[in-house]
Structure 1
Amino acid sequence: MTVRWDIFCTVVDNFGDIGVTWRLARQLVAEHGVAVRLWVDDLRAFERLCPEIDPALSEQWQQGVQVRHWPKDWLPVEAADVVIAAFACQLPSAYMDAMAERQVTPLWMNLDYLSAEDWVIGCHGLPSVKYKHVQKYFFFPGFQEGTGGLLREAGLLERRRQFQQDGAAQQVFLRGLGVEREPGARLISLFAYENAGLASWFDTMATDTRPWHVLVPEGRILGDVERWAGIDGLGAGASYRRGALTVQVLPFVRQDEYDHLLWCCDFNAVRGEDSFVRAQWAGRPLLWHIYQQEEDVHLEKLEAFLKLYTEGLSEPAEKAISGLWRTWNAGQDMAEHWKAACEKDRELAEHARSWCLEQASRADLATALVKFYRNWI
């Protein structure tokens, strides 16, 4: 019989939470043959990633996944064989009772946030709290052996390789977004939270001797772009040029198209968790704007990742990319570290490809979850 999975997602970071769970749900169905019910409390945010979603429907099917609206007034349903609470969300109490009432106890997992911190390895797979006789387990994505790995669909890196070697395919894709790349211009994608450091970064590129073209999908950073340009109301399709820098606003694209955008660019600035992982699979240098947490806990996560990611770089390249990430996340002046990173662009590009291959040598997150379930039963 087909194993039934329930994945619960509360949308906190606009697109990161639903982005991760939507990718996971699709991959479980497509590659592992399980039945997935994805419970989402905010279908409007989901609609941005999957335009086929009808926010007015409480139940619908998308790409083999049963998508259910998670209502405030919960209606009783039978619990699944595997239950995933994404990012420590609290399950409805009636659903927890349904888990306890099952004849065969379900596997209940908390799929936690991605982190490179050392303690994650020691906690991954451990039992957590119990509800009645139903045991919950920690499941941590991660970058090292002993964690749950990263989301990666079968054949992803080969599809990326073929696309990056096909200049004509890239040109067709970019033109579909209204992008005409100036000969010799370096392409950057920019998806980030609000950031006071943006003006210094843009100023540095604008005064460079080589051309830069920054592609900005609609999002929270757009207000800072408008202030730098001195223009209100920049929408999809709008562009602005100052010196060597062209800035162009793109429409918010669905996940598969966003992958192609990352693959086209020479450098990718990303935010949160979902786009952060996808930028690593692009095999290009990146800049991460981590989700801010109380008491600056997020900065510990940033440093933990930098420690792993920069291993093997020369000292100048390590200082350049680490300094760039730190100043960006502090909203500080970017000029010095951006110039230093540009001087080491070849080394950083090769390092990004090597890091991608290293991460791809481990099992992907969906496969690790399925294996955990099979071992558990």
Structure 2
Amino acid sequence: MRWDIFCRVIDNHGDLGVCWRLARQLAEAGEAPRLWVDDGAALAWMAPDRAGVEFVDWSDPAAEEAALAAPAPDVLVEAFGCNPSPALAERFAAGPGATHPRAWINLEYLSAEPHVERLHTLPSPVFRGPGAGLTKWFFYPGFTSGTGGLLREPDLAARQAAFDRGAWLQAQRIDWRPGERLVSLFCYEPPALEAVLAGMAGGSGPTHLLVTPGRAAAAVRALPALAAGAGRLRVSELPWLAQPDYDHLLWSCELNFVRGEDSLVRALWAGAPLVWHIYPQDDDAHHAKLAAWLDWMQAPPSLRALHLAWNGAGAPPAQAAAPADGALADWRQAVQSARARLLAQDDLLTQLRRFVGAGVK
């Protein structure tokens, strides 16, 4: 089937990352995806191999006109309520060239809050404007069997089992020293960043912090006393990594600080202890979202306290950023237990294709 996925970039690592993974997995499953992006600059490093995915520059009227000359899609995926091209929505409603029942999917944001199960797969009829006469269907990713699940490639476990950590670190020219705890940092500007890095610097063992480019690197550089490392802390800035290599980074580290949506999911699949910097909202609605996720993950008290501090909802706990081996083992057990529950559920693409194949219109 032909799939058109619309992505309006707000946080280009998260929104675009999710949409690109979905498009790539569709292509690998034998479908024909077309990804409409209003700002695809990050794809140059995120997805250098386009893997059978057709791209449309949504900001270019000529590119949209050319795309509209092709057959209408069978499935329209509106990622995160971004409102697709009115011309395509109108044509999609008319349906010329569609060979299967048409489906308009509103792919929503990821959350562990209780309302997700209630709203998942609910219809939203379109009464007026482009697309009038069709029905949008809410499709919620999630962490429980009552949701749409999470994106996961069929060969992910096999690739992770075959991963050679030492070879990858060497290929990336990461100067890892035996005995160092490797920690990855991908974040916005967390309120507790200075306290956490100071905790690493004063820890009982050496830590090597691998910092991703962009806002995370800028936030660390804004701390002159810690930007290059101090005490037991070493800091290295990484280059932009394609999605497969970002997975490899997560697999290589004993602790991963992640942000947004896409990297959270990848850190869960990695199975190492993680700290999530949730996308901040002005009304602090993200704190309730974070609490729901911590409840689902059954986070130990020390990991919960660090999450709250990292997201501006509490004071940094003592030594939380340099946990003793026992605490880190508790964190790892919680993440791996959560991952096991997720692996027992169908992945998002499997559920989405099943839903579309059931004949929604």
TM-score, length-scaled by structure 2:
0.91
CA distance in 1, matches of 2:317, 2:147: 36
Runs of 4+ in 1 over 3 A off after TM superposition: 339-343
- Confirm whether residue 47 of structure 1 aligns to residue 47 of structure 2: no
- Residue segments in structure 2 that go unaligned for 5+ positions in a row: none
Amino acid at match of 2:168: F
Equivalent residue, structure 1, for 2:237: 249
User: Residue 303 of structure 2 is aligned with which of 321, 335, 354?
Assistant: 321
Equivalent residue, structure 2, for 1:56: none
| Counterpart contact for 2:197–2:321, Cα < 8 Å | no
| Counterpart contact for 1:127–1:137, Cα < 8 Å | yes
Equivalent residue, structure 1, for 2:83: 90
Deviations 1:175-195 (A, max 9, x none): 222212222111100000012
- Confirm whether residue 191 of structure 1 aligns to residue 174 of structure 2: no
CA separation of 1:333 and 1:225: change in aligned 2, threshold 3 A:
farther
| Counterpart contact for 1:214–1:245, Cα < 8 Å | yes
User: Residue 210 of structure 2 is aligned with which of 199, 202, 215?
Assistant: 215
- Confirm whether residue 297 of structure 1 aligns to residue 285 of structure 2: yes
User: Residue 338 of structure 1 is aligned with which of 320, 329, 343?
Assistant: 320
| Counterpart contact for 2:7–2:35, Cα < 8 Å | yes
Shift of 1:51: 3.4
- Residue segments in structure 1 that go unaligned for 5+ positions in a row: 53-61, 164-168, 235-239
- Confirm whether residue 115 of structure 1 aligns to residue 111 of structure 2: yes
Shift of 1:337: 6.1
Equivalent residue, structure 2, for 1:360: 343
- Confirm whether residue 20 of structure 1 aligns to residue 13 of structure 2: no
Equivalent residue, structure 2, for 1:280: 268
* Number of equivalenced pairs: 347
CA distance in 1, matches of 2:186, 2:313: 15
CA distance in 2, matches of 1:140, 1:188: 31
- Confirm whether residue 307 of structure 1 aligns to residue 295 of structure 2: yes
Equivalent residue, structure 1, for 2:171: 176
CA separation of 1:339 and 1:8: change in aligned 2, threshold 3 A:
closer
Equivalent residue, structure 2, for 1:369: 352
Q: Secondary structure at the match of 2:320?
A: helix
Shift of 1:126: 0.8
> 122-131 or 280-289, which moves further after superposition?
122-131
Alpha-carbon RMSD across the aligned residues, in angstroms, is: 1.9
CA separation of 1:335 and 1:229: change in aligned 2, threshold 3 A:
farther
CA distance in 1, matches of 2:159, 2:286: 33
User: What is the identity percentage for the equivalent residue pairs of Structure 1 and Structure 2?
Assistant: 40
| Counterpart contact for 1:5–1:34, Cα < 8 Å | yes
| Counterpart contact for 2:186–2:257, Cα < 8 Å | yes
Amino acid at match of 2:308: R
Deviations 1:144-186 (A, max 9, x none): 01110000000202221232xxxxx211211222212222111
| Counterpart contact for 2:199–2:319, Cα < 8 Å | no
User: Residue 9 of structure 2 is aligned with which of 4, 11, 14?
Assistant: 11
| Counterpart contact for 2:196–2:321, Cα < 8 Å | no
Shift of 1:300: 1.4
Amino acid at match of 1:350: Q
CA distance in 2, matches of 1:334, 1:158: 37
Shift of 1:341: 4.7
| Counterpart contact for 2:199–2:322, Cα < 8 Å | no
Amino acid at match of 2:83: Q
- Confirm whether residue 161 of structure 1 aligns to residue 156 of structure 2: no
Equivalent residue, structure 2, for 1:237: none
TM-score, length-scaled by structure 1:
0.87
| Counterpart contact for 1:321–1:337, Cα < 8 Å | no
